[in-house]
Amino acid sequence: MKLAWEHYIGLAGLVLMAAGNAIGLFWAPPEMMMGDVGRILYVHVPAAWICMVIYLVAFAGAVASLATARPGADALVESSVEVGVLLNVLLLVLGSIFAKPTWGVWWDWDPRLTASAIMCLTFVGVMVLRAMVDDVERRASWSAVTTVLAFVNIPVTYMSVRWWRSLHQVQSSSSTMSAEMWNVLWLNTVALLLVSIWFVARRYRIARDRADQLRAPPLEVAP
Amino acid sequence: MTGRPLAAIAAVAVAGAALAWIGMGDLGENLVYYWSPSELVAAGAKAHGATIRLGGQVEAGTVDWNPDTNQLKFVVTDGQEHIKVASVGAPPQMFREGIGVVVEGTIKDGQFATDRVMVKHSNEYRAPEDGEKPDIVTLSEDGP
């Protein structure tokens, strides 16, 4: 049996993820001020980046779905919104675990954290909307519009640390991070990206199959 | 159903307009997560009574930790004004002189009374160099 292409990407992602986590936990140096706690960076930041990338895919799918009404575009919205929410929840949980030992609190309503929570809620809203609308075409156009609108908050979330005062620090870059940490961060980011592509592709196939079943004409019953 | 390119353009236009409105508007003026010491002093009596957040640096040489009473006193500054802060309980492990903090509380008896001290971390992540050890401060019995 021939494996679907996405399984190879998923396998590569899992291998890289195992390596990236092992390197992040055991090989990478502790951070000067945070010590070992700083290692959460290697999973928290990739979750944030890839979450936003996957939401960007959902946005592109939504625009394409509105413009062309192709079932494939709608399936892409369905799959990427779901995987985006999964990464969003991961982002919030990891961020909270990171925050307690460093900031001293699990949560605070600073602009970045609030925007990230809204980001999660709005895309959960898209999922709820999809679950409530049975008509395939209506579901496609409604969820495309709401996905485009929900996406407004993604640049806001990204920029929130620069636009407003916040507890969350501004984005790190290769110039604010030791090279051996930056490289581990990127390894884990690529790993999570590959795993996420795998998830979206698998979920896309399920969405296509389900939509095809709904669109198929009812079976004629023999007399 | 056929596609509706106009609907797609309209949706993106609405989204773009909303983003521009948020990004270029003066929401920042109204959305203030914390006050600086200067703003707090300038606000005068208006700042009294309400629960607010104060943000700034922990001024060097002002940290006074009493392990017996669990009381922590320090001064928060923005380089211009200096606000005395009185807090209860051990602060987060990254708390130290010169670091950014956000404290939530009220002005009481000329001091900022708080039970919620949050430490800001910069966007710098540095590995220890040869011979260095992570500089983790813990407030022990001996003080910071």
Exposure string for B3-40, b = 16+ CB within 10 A, e = fewer: bbeebbeebbeebeeebeebeeeeeeeeeebbbbbebb
Place of tokens 């985006």: A84
Which residues neighbour B114 within 8 Å (Cβ) at sequence distance 6 or greater?
Answer: B54, B85, B86, B87, B103, B104, B105
Tell whether B19 is covered by a domain: no
CB contact under 8 A, A149 and B15: yes
Convert the pLDDT of each residue in A137-183 to its tens digit.
999 999 999 999 999 999 999 999 998 999 999 999 989 999 999 99
Convert the pLDDT of each residue in A185-202 to its tens digit.
999 999 999 999 999 999
Q: Does A176 touch chain B (CB under 8 A)?
A: yes
Tell whether B136 is covered by a domain: no
**CATH code of the domain containing B86:** 2.40.50.140
User: Helices (DSSP H) in chain A: which residue ranges?
Assistant: 5-22, 41-68, 71-103, 111-132, 136-151, 153-163, 179-215
Q: Which residues of B touch A101 (CB under 8 A)?
A: 92-93
Mean pLDDT value across residues A90-118: 96
Q: What is the pLDDT of residue B143?
A: 42
Per CATH, is A5-212 categorized as 1.20.120?
yes
Which one of B2, B91, B126 has the shortest CB-CB distance to A32? Answer: B126
Q: Does A177 touch chain B (CB under 8 A)?
A: yes
Domain boundaries, chain A: 5-212
CB contact under 8 A, A104 and B18: no
User: How many angstroms separate the first and last alpha carbons of chain B?
Assistant: 69
CB contact under 8 A, B128 and A32: yes
Confidence of residue B131 (pLDDT cuts 50, 70, 90): confident
Report ipTM for this prediction: 0.85
Minimum Cα–Cα distance from A112: chain B residue = B33
Tell whether B139 is covered by a domain: no
Q: How many CB atoms lie within 10 A of CB A50?
A: 25
Tell whether B4 is covered by a domain: no
Tell whether B132 is covered by a domain: no
Tell whether B47 is covered by a domain: yes
Tell whether B69 is covered by a domain: yes
Q: What is the number of structural domains in chain B?
A: 1
Domain of residue B102: give its range.
32-119
**Predicted confidence (pLDDT) at residue B139 exceeds the cutoff of 90:** no
CB contact under 8 A, A67 and B8: yes
